[in-house]
Structure 1
Amino acid sequence: MHILLTNDDGVFAPGLRALRKELQRLGEVTVIAPAMEQSGVGHSITLLTPLVVKQVDEDDGTTLGWMVEGSPADSVKLAICELMPRPPDLIVSGINAGSNAGINVLYSGTVAAAIEGAFFKITSVAVSLELAEHFDYPHAARHATRVIERILAHKPPNGSLFNVNLPAHSRGEPKGVRVVPMGIGRYGEGFERRQDPRGRTYYWMTYNPPFHLEGPETDVTSLCDGYITVTPLHFDLTRYDLIPEVGGWDWNGAPVPTPPSKNP
């Protein structure tokens, strides 16, 4: 099996190196990842500037892979279309430094790389490790690879897409694996207002990850409970349930009047 490994933390990230070592038990691993950290870029692609690609070597002179001066989605697209002799059998993105659970899935470059793989009808898995003071990537990589092995053992259809989150090592050994939906609640967000030395106001986004949440079982709550979470995803955002209703609206009628403004 040929595996494409990518991420959004950059080709030199320790999470990628740890996962590569474990994935080599499953097959040949090719690394093609962004040159620099691309956290929070979502599914952006580069249109107006060239994509520079450079080979990356290990200390012993062997080839690690390629780094792309672009986004995670750029890296996967370029890998499949240009850099690899044939499409990979599996695409893995990670290990990300910090979870990509709940609404953060929509911002994540890690998940976007996996989505790009699914665009090409290749089974793709995003892997993230909950934020902590100290990351134990080798430990997380072993757990992640076992989860990926179980996914592959069930022979999912081509283009299947999975989002895997691992609890921080500080929570103890994972209690197990839960297959759960993506949470849609917002939590722990805000901005800190500051002033620079010249007196100009600026804002720095703050983020307080949850340690425990109540409510319906989701990837966020299960991660807080110490479980590895697996969420099957798809990139079709269509609200199929609303198509009959919206399709029945009068699209040729008079324009709906704009309500008056409440501001004086």
Structure 2
Amino acid sequence: MHIFLVNDDGIGSVGIMALMDAALARGHKVTMCAPKQQQSAASQRITLTDPIYVKEYPVKQAGVKAYAIAGTPTDCVRIGMLSLIDSPVDIVISGINDGHNAGTAIRYSGTVGAATEGALFHLHSMAVSIEHGATQAMYDSFAGRAIAIAEQYVKAEVPPVTVLSLNAPAIEPETWKGPVFAPLSNASFLDTYERRVSPRCGVYYWLEDGCHMEPPEEGSDLAMMAKGYITATLVGNPTEHENRCEGLLSAGCKNSAASL
């Protein structure tokens, strides 16, 4: 199959290279379009008013077309799909991200944003992430598992604009459990900003270690990762929650509004 690789850590990062090697080892075609520079927390932002420069990126592996793009992860998917690919793509895989994208982290993630853009092209799409501190062996092992899962995922019927998000803890691969499906945690980040003063430009604020979070709910993706599990979560299709909001829109009906 033809695998389109993207990330937010930048072209040449260890995670995307591990995915490339794993995909090639299993006989797949690879096209890689990734940001020229680090683009973490870019979410699904696109470039509207600046030029987006594209350069071929040299890789040693034969048959791989790789491009370094001076834009966001989502820019990379859009330009790749609309201008650079030479044959139909079967699946978009974004990652492997250096740092998990479990729980509320997906709201900020350039990795998940790029995968979501792939889903908007009506393609099966995956986001793959591992906790900070992973070794090369962890990346390589997780990449192999991710590609094996991708081979099965392309056969699955999934709702439109849905992303399969995989997250692994940064522990020795032989101690991993799972993978298991787990719902997203709703735990919030416990961020703080330090007030500083620049002698030239005045007051500014600096984000202090934005990785701490509230305790996760039992059974959530963050909680399962803490127990050593690789987690899988389907992200992006809200229709399953509509029944919980039954009656909500009645407040906006003409008669209801007139009574206010």
Instruction: Please tell me whether residue 38 in structure 1 is matched to residue 36 in structure 2.
Output: no
CA distance in 2, matches of 1:81, 1:183: 34
Instruction: Please show how residues 190-205 of structure 1 align to structure 2 within 5 Å.
Output: 190-198=192-200, 200-205=202-207
Correspondence for 2:141: 142
**Distance change >3 Å, CA 60–CA 174, structure 1 → 2:** closer
Correspondence for 1:104: 105
Correspondence for 2:59: 58
Correspondence for 1:20: 20
CA distance in 1, matches of 2:242, 2:167: 28
Q: CA deviation at 1:140?
A: 2.4
Q: Look up the SS of the partner of 2:57 in the other structure.
A: strand
Question: For the pair shown, which has the larger CA radius of gyration, 1 or 2?
Answer: 1
Q: CA deviation at 1:195?
A: 3.0
**Distance change >3 Å, CA 172–CA 138, structure 1 → 2:** closer
Ranges in structure 2 where 5+ consecutive residues have no aligned partner = none
Q: CA deviation at 1:12?
A: 2.1
Q: Look up the SS of the partner of 2:188 in the other structure.
A: coil
Aligned-partner residue type, residue 161 of structure 1: V
Output one character per residue of 1:154-201: Cα deviation in whole Å (capped at 9) or x when no partner: 521266521111111379731332210111111332222333355833
Q: CA deviation at 1:67?
A: 1.1
CA distance in 2, matches of 1:175, 1:238: 28
CA distance in 2, matches of 1:184, 1:128: 18
Output one character per residue of 1:62-116: Cα deviation in whole Å (capped at 9) or x when no partner: 8651011111111111111110022311111111111111111010000011101
Q: CA deviation at 1:240?
A: 2.6
CA RMSD of aligned residues (A): 2.9
Identity among equivalent pairs (%) = 31
Q: CA deviation at 1:131?
A: 1.6
Instruction: Please show how residues 96-135 of structure 1 align to structure 2 within 5 Å.
Output: 96-132=97-133, 135=134
Instruction: Please tell me whether residue 7 in structure 1 is matched to residue 10 in structure 2.
Output: no
**Distance change >3 Å, CA 13–CA 168, structure 1 → 2:** same
Normalized per residue, the structure richer in helix is 2
Ranges in structure 1 where 5+ consecutive residues have no aligned partner = 257-264
8 Å Cα contact 1:7-1:95 kept in structure 2: yes
CA distance in 2, matches of 1:196, 1:98: 31
Q: Give the TM-score normalised by structure 1.
A: 0.84
Q: Give the TM-score normalised by structure 2.
A: 0.85
Correspondence for 2:230: 228
CA distance in 2, matches of 1:165, 1:93: 12
Aligned length: 254
Instruction: Please show how residues 81-92 of structure 1 align to structure 2 within 5 Å.
Output: 81-92=82-93
Q: Look up the SS of the partner of 1:91 in the other structure.
A: strand
Correspondence for 2:209: 207
